[in-house]
Structure 1
Amino acid sequence: MKTVGIITIHGICNFGSLLQAYATQKVVESLGYAPQIINYKYPNDYHQKESQKHSPYARVNYSFFQRVRLAIYGRILGKHNSDKRHALYEKERTALLYLTEEYPNQASLHSKPPLFDIYLTGSDQVWNPRYMYSDCTYMLNFIHNVPKIAYSASFGTTNLTNEYKDLYKSLLNEYVSISMREQSGVGMIKAICGKESTCTCDPTLLLSGEEWADLFGEKPLVNGEYILCYILTYTANPYPYASAFISHIQTHLKKKVVILDELGRYWMDFRYKSFQSAGPREIVNLFKNAAFIISSSFHGAAFSINFKKDFYSLFPADVKDERQESLLKIVGAEDRFIHVGDPFPEPSAFRICDWDSISVKLAAYRQKSIDYLIKALGDAAKLTK
């Protein structure tokens, strides 16, 4: 049995990152290979130092009142919630992933890289210079003269400077096969190194909603029907529009609101129920059992679609989210994308009328993606010694 070393973003406290790593591992294993996740620590000291040197791409501008609330609740609840959340993620990470020994930095990987027959760059924003800077570990620069493939990798942007294009070119040319999570990434690969690639689905969509439900099959964490709100602000801040949007949806649906965000209660209505220290198991449970979902997260949209939930995806008007837009277009759910500042949708538009069409397109997208993996792994296996 051929071994496959998978490198992806798996160690942060983000449910999408952890579960996409698990899904990649699971599907590769189901195809007859022996996968293992290369346990590269991200972020490590290098990324933290670079982050301090560079100005953030997007800052969240809080009002004075919000800053006061953040300071108060951060001191009282922040560390407790953070420690609890980290413990939940570590528990699931250990249970779900086949991990190598930990590699705490680039030097440790280069000095003694783990040995596999095939190396696979996984999904998430593994090639985004905003987060990786000049660290090309996720382009497998620590190993050479071995078969390399990429599955649903993402630049997370449509703009790369010439500095990064030059840095990436030679490394991308070492890949036998490349697939990208966004259609824009396909064009970028062609422009950077001249290679052909294809667009495949996020790994979490390789598994059906039923498979995710079976994995985390537990009774609902919240009794009764509820609107789940998963609003992230580390890339862009959809508030205060998001607050008004949530109120608009609740007014018409007349259901309780559940906030899934460690910062959510700092500026949201305190009447809303808040989960500030949820792990991946709890998050999937909340998505699975929600009556309606409002999210600003790519994986929020992905799980909404996989569980066939009526939803809206929010994003600031001045920031293009190619990740969500690409997914919604492929499955025919473009009307679910709401830009900050857009008029609120009428109640008659809340429900998705044609889930059958979306499900058919998702199934085709999933099968195309699995077919890519079968061929890419097969071609790579033929090149092994």
Structure 2
Amino acid sequence: MTIPGNCSHGNKLQNFAVMRIYEALGFETETLECAKRSPLSAFRHFAGNIVYSRSEASPEDVMSAERRGAFARFARRIPTRTVTEPLGELPSRYDYFSVGSDQVWNPRGIDCYRWMFLEFADKSQRIALSPSIGMSKIRSPYARTLMRGGLNGFTNLSVREDDGAAVIKDLTGRDAEVLIDPTLMIDAKTWLLLGDERLVPNKDYVLLFVLGNQSDDQKAYLEGILSEYGASLVRLSDRSREGEVDAGPAEFISLIANARHVVTDSFHAAVFSLLMGTSFTVFRRSGGSGSTMFSRLETLTRKFGAQHRIYGDESFTGFDGTVSAEEFSLALSGERQKFAAFLSKCIDGIDISSIANGVQGIN
């Protein structure tokens, strides 16, 4: 289970990664999506729109036909089934249910707590694989109560960022393991095989993948990079804005892999920059809930010694700063071992040797 939809590059890439991880362990996989909300879930969603000032508009509504097609091409790699039967019938059809990664536990986006916390399944069937909460504090008494109950339904807990672990500790008193995003479990060469270079320019370019607003300082910094490199600018986001390339997840991979530099406020753009060895700069996202979601990037850069790539931080080393490939590889190896060890606690008798050093191949 993960967030449904075909508009977020990172969401589809982590969905594919989770599928490949379980396939490497010997499982057949399906991504499950709910057919429709229950009346109670629909009311919660409506109330959430009011409480959190959410808009009903979806990025998919404004996507170009070309971008929609690019997402559809990639989505065909992920077996997906829409659940129409009562949820109580699911436990007898599957051995395990896995939720994550992405912001599946962000109360601003949860439509059905029973679904996202796998409450329909036996406790022994529930796996929380590097989910994200996307908030540093949960203030709503209603959300706190439902999340506490959902979290305590898992024998083992993991989360994707440090703030998420702190939230779980606050709600339940339990320690959750902070794991890497599943995309980092997939070998870089495998991601390159999945890439699509149809949108890659034949000259030097800087990729700007920014989801929030940019400050004047950030805009000036970007202009400085373009001038220094004599590079063109390629724009991309999750909103299909004017002047952006119509890239899906596969094109996203290749655009990052071939860029001279990536400027981003996106978690997965930073992840793939690290995987591809592409120099990058992280902007703090402004506007909306960006400031509360930055923990995932802080956790990522801390784990891999890349704090100096955060623009505006004291350690920032400018656009020509790099991340040591040797240090990244060493840290990644340790994090992959930790990720695999967590799954060994969730699945009885599983041999994790096939994933402990990363997953290779498209399958």
**TM-score bucket of the superposed structures, by smaller chain:** 0.7 to 0.9
1:378 aligns with 2:356: no
Secondary structure, counterpart of 1:229 in structure 2: strand
* Number of corresponding residues: 339
Structure 1 residue runs of 5 or longer lacking an equivalent are: 1-6, 59-73, 267-272
Identify the residue that residue 238 of structure 1 maps to in structure 2: 214
Structure 2 segments unaligned to the other structure (5+ residues): 352-363
Alignment of 1:39-50 (within 5 A): 39-40=33-34, 46=42, 49-50=46-47
Separation in structure 2 between the aligned mates of residue 17 and residue 314 of structure 1, nearest angstrom: 20
Deviation, 1:144, is 4.0
1:259 aligned to 210, 213, 235, which one?
A: 235
TM-score under structure 1 normalisation? 0.78
Alignment deviations for residues 45-79 of structure 1 (CA, whole Å, 9 cap, x no partner): 93863454234379xxxxxxxxxxxxxxx9xxx97
Query: Which of 280, 287, 298 is the aligned partner of 2:256?
Result: 287
Supply the AA of the counterpart residue of 2:278.
K
- Cα distance per residue 1:236-292 (max 9 Å; x no partner): x234443222102112222111111366865xxxxxx731x2111111110111111
Greater strand proportion: 1
C-alpha separation between the residues in 1 aligned to 2:86 and 2:116? Answer: 11
Tell me how far apart the structure 2 counterparts of residues 160 and 334 of structure 1 sit (CA, whole Å): 26
In structure 2, C-alpha distance between the alignment counterparts of 1:93 and 1:264, rounded to whole Å: 18
Task: Summarize the Cα distance change of 1:125–1:346 in structure 2 as closer, same or farther, 3 Å threshold.
Answer: closer
Q: Among the aligned pairs, what percent are the same residue? A: 25
Other structure's SS at 1:293 match = strand
The question of 1:32 aligning with 2:1 is answered: no
Note closer, same or farther for the CA distance 1:41–1:159 as it changes in structure 2 (3 Å cut): farther
Residues 357-372 of structure 1 correspond to what in structure 2 (within 5 A)? 357-372=327-342
Say if 1:118 and 1:147, in contact at 8 Å, map to a contact too: yes
Structure-2 separation of matches of 1:28 and 1:226: 36
Structure-to-structure mapping, 1:183-332, within 5 angstroms: 183-216=162-195, 218=197, 221-233=200-212, 237-261=213-237, 274-275=244-245, 277-316=246-285, 319-320=291-292, 321-332=294-305
Q: Counterparts of 1:83 and 1:136 in 2: how far apart (Å)?
A: 34
Q: CA deviation at 1:295?
A: 0.6
Distance 1:368 1:375, change over 3 A: same
Q: Which moved more, 1:308-317 or 1:138-147?
A: 138-147
Quick check: 1:84 aligned with 2:66?
Answer: yes
d(CA) in 1 for partners of 2:62, 2:299 = 37
Give the distance between the partners of 1:206 and 1:350, measured in 2 at CA.
Answer: 27
> Which amino acid is 1:194 matched to?
G
Residue type at the aligned position of 1:15:
H
| Stretch of structure 1 that moved more, 316-325 or 170-179 | 316-325
In structure 2, give the amino acid aligned to 1:93. A
Equivalent residue for 2:3, pick from 6, 9, 12:
9
Q: Which residue of 2 aligns with 1:160?
A: 138
Identify if the C-alpha distance between structure 1 residues 238 and 112 changes in structure 2 by more than 3 Å, giving closer, same or farther. Answer: farther
Contact kept? 1:9, 1:21, Cα under 8 Å: no
Inter-partner Cα distance in structure 2 for 1:156 and 1:358: 25
Q: Name the counterpart of 2:309.
A: 336
**Residues 231 and 296, structure 1, Cα contact 8 Å, conserved in 2:** yes
- How large is the Cα RMSD of the aligned pairs? 3.2
Distance 2:334 2:254 in 1: 26
Q: Which amino acid aligns with 2:137?
A: N
Q: 2-side partners of 1:10 and 1:331: how far apart?
A: 29
Per-residue deviation, residues 16-50 of structure 1 (Å, max 9, x unmatched): 00110110110111012222211236999938634
CA distance in 1 between partners of 2:239 and 2:104 (Å): 25
Alpha carbons of 1:42 and 1:238: their partners in 2 closer, same or farther (altered >3 Å)? Answer: farther
Query: How far off its partner does 1:136 sit?
Result: 4.1
**Residues 159-200 of structure 1: CA deviation (Å, up to 9, x unaligned):** 012322211222222212221101222232233223332111
Who is 2:361 aligned against? none
Q: Deviations over 1:190-234 (max 9, x none)?
A: 33223332111101111122110022265772112211110112x
**Residue 325 (structure 2) pairs with residue 355 (structure 1):** yes
Given the alignment, which residue of 45, 51, 57 partners 1:54?
51
Match of 2:126 in 1: 148
Q: 1:116 aligns with which of 86, 94, 107?
A: 94
Which residue identity is paired with 2:193? D
CA distance in 2, matches of 1:322, 1:42: 32
Structure 1 counterpart of 2:279, which letter?
D
